[in-house]
Structure 1
Amino acid sequence: MGGSDGQTLLLTGGSGYVASVILQKFCRKYKADSPNTKLPGMEKISRVVLVDKFASSINEDDFTVPVQSFQGDITDLDFLSKVFAGADVVYHLASYGMSGREQLHNEMIWKVNVEGTKNVIEACRQNNVKSLIFTSTFNVVFGGQRIEDGDETLPYFDSTERSWDNYGNSKAVAEKLVLQVNNTLTANGTTTISTCVLRLAGIYGPRERRHIPRVVKAMKQGMFLFTYGDNPIVEFVHVENVVQALVQAQYSLTHSNSVAAGKAYFISDGKPVNNFEFFRPLTEALDVPFPKISVPMWLVYFIGGFLFPSLSALFMVMVYLLCIASYM
C-alpha cells in the first residue's frame, strides 16, 4: 500500500491527457504558473502508479510523491496483476476507438474496452483494491436521437440499432461490468470494492493533443466546409472538471454510505453549446471562414452509417469534424 497512512493511486491510460493533468495539479512540485492543489481525498495519496501501453516520459524528481510508470497492455491480465499490487484506488482511464482511424478497428475496440476492463476488475479483485472509478462516455445512451434535459435515468441505447458506434457499445458493456462488482468482496475476503462510472463529454483544455489539433488541421486544410442540423446543441467538459469529478468520486467512495458507489454520472461543463459555435474562436484565430452552408442530418448519418468504412483518410477527417460531439 502507499504507507501506514497514505494511499496508492493507480491510473490506467497513465501517459494520456487526463493522467498528465492529474499529475500536474496534485503531484508536481510547485511552479509559479501551475501550483498544485489538494482536493479532499488527494491529500492521502502518497504514491502514484501509471500504467500505459506507451512509454511515459515522466521525470520522477518532478513530483512531490513517488511516481512509478509501467509500460504494458491492459489486455494482459498477468501484467496487470503484478503492477496493481499495493494499489488502493484505481482510475481506469484507458480506452480505444473513440475517434479517428481507431473507430474502424472493431475487434481492437472490444478487446481493449471490454476484455481490458474485465482484466482491470480482476486485477483489482486479486490485489484488494478499495475503489475503482471508470471513465465512460455520453454515447452509452446516445444513438443519434435528440436528447434534452437528459439525466442518469436514461436507458442504455440499444446496441443492435447502433452498429456504427462500436466504441459506445463497448463502453456500455464495460461500465455495466464495473457497476456490477460494486460492494463485492476482493480476494482477501474482507476488503469490499466500491465502484463508480463517470460518463464524460468531449474533453478540451490546455495542451490537449488528440481532438482539437485534428480540428485545427482540418480547418487549415480547408475542410471545414459546412455545418449540419438545426442548432445542434452538445456538451463539452474542460479537463480540470474531469479531474475534479474523478477526485470527488474517489473521496465519496471512501465513505461507507457513499452516494457515488454503484452509480454512473454524466460529467460536463453544464453549459450546452452549439457544436459549431464552440469552434468559432478557432476559425477566427486561424483566419478561416466560418461555413455558411448547412446540410441536413440525414445526409450526415448516411455518410457516417453507410459510407464511413470506405471513406478515404482525407474525407474521414471531415466527417470527424462534423460528428466530433457525437463521437466523444
Structure 2
Amino acid sequence: MIRRNFLKTAAAVGLGLTLSTSVMAETVMRVASWLPPTHPQNAVVWPTWGKWVEEATEGRVKIKIEYGMGHPKTMFELVEDGVVDASFSYHGYVPGRFKLTQVVEQPGLGVSAEAASIAHWRVNEKYFTKANEHDGLVLAALFTHGPGQIHMAKPIDSLSDLKGKKIRIGGGVQGEIGKRLGVTAVGAPAPKVYEMMQQGVIDGVFIPMGEQKTLRLKEVARNVVALPGGMYLGSFSMFLSPDFMDSLSEKDRKAVMSVSGEKLSALAGRAWDAGDAEGYVAAKEAGVNLNEVAADGAMAKEFKSLAKGMDDAWVSHVTDRGVDAKAALTELRSIARSYGK
C-alpha cells in the first residue's frame, strides 16, 4: 500500500512537472493592437518579431495579437497594469508624458522612417533613458511613421487655405504645426478618421501616405498635398509588461530583448515605409488628386518659413527633463541622414 501510494504520488508529481514544462514551453505574449489587421504593424511588424522571439526562445515564447482593446492612448496603461503583455502606441496621444520623443518629429529631417527609427533608438539610448519617460514599461523599440502629409476632402491651393479648416490632429509636433497653420484641431485616434471624413466632421487630416490604403482614405480624402520630406514624422514605441518579462526565465528575457531594440526599430520603420509606398500607389490608382510639391515650390517654401524655429522651441520645452536636448537633436539628424550611406 505504501509503495502503491508512493508510485501514485510520484506519477502525479511527474505529470505536474510535465504540464508545467508544457505551459512554460508555450508561454503566450498577448499583444494589444488598435490598428486594423491589414496595417503593416499587424501584418508585418508583430508577426515578424513574433517569429524572431519564437526562434530566440526555442519555441518557449509566442505572441498573439488581440484587437479592440480600446483607444491607442490607453495602451501604455494596459501594459503597465498587466492587462496585456505588450503593445505599441503613438507618443502624441499622451501629451505631457512624452516630450523627448518629439526629437524625431521635428520638420525638415527629410529621411525614411527606417533611418529615423534607427536614429530615434540610438539617441534615446544615449541621451534620454535617464529621464524615464517610459517608466513602468520595458521598451522594446522606438520608430516613426513616414512623412506626414495633408489629406483633404477638397483641394487647397496654398497652406493659407487651411486656416480655420477642421483638421484631425494626432498630437505631438502636429499640434504645433496646426497652431501655426491656424487650423481648427480635432482630436481622434487614426482608425476614426475615415468615418469622420465620410460624415464631414473634419475637412482633412495630417497623416502619412500609407493610410490612403490601410485606412481607405483614398475614398474620402481625395486631395493630397505631398510636401518634400513631409511636415513631420510621428514617434511610436513598442513596449512590454515588466511583470510579463519577470515571469520568463532569465534566458528567455535575454532572448526576447536580443531581437528587440535597434533591430526591431529598424523593422518597424522599414515596414511603415513600405506601407507608404503602397498607399501612394493605391491613391494614384484610385484617381486621388495628388499634388507632389517640388522642393522649390511655393507651398514647400511656405511650410519651411512656417516651421522655422520649431526645433529651438522643442529644446526649450524639454529643459525640465535634464538632458542635453540640443546635442541629441544634432546627433539624431546626423545618424538619420547618414544611414545607409
What TM-score do the two structures reach when normalised by structure 1?
Answer: 0.37
Bigger relative CO (Cα 8 Å, ≥ 6 apart) = 2
Give the number of the structure whose residues are more often helix, by fraction.
2
What TM-score do the two structures reach when normalised by structure 2?
Answer: 0.36
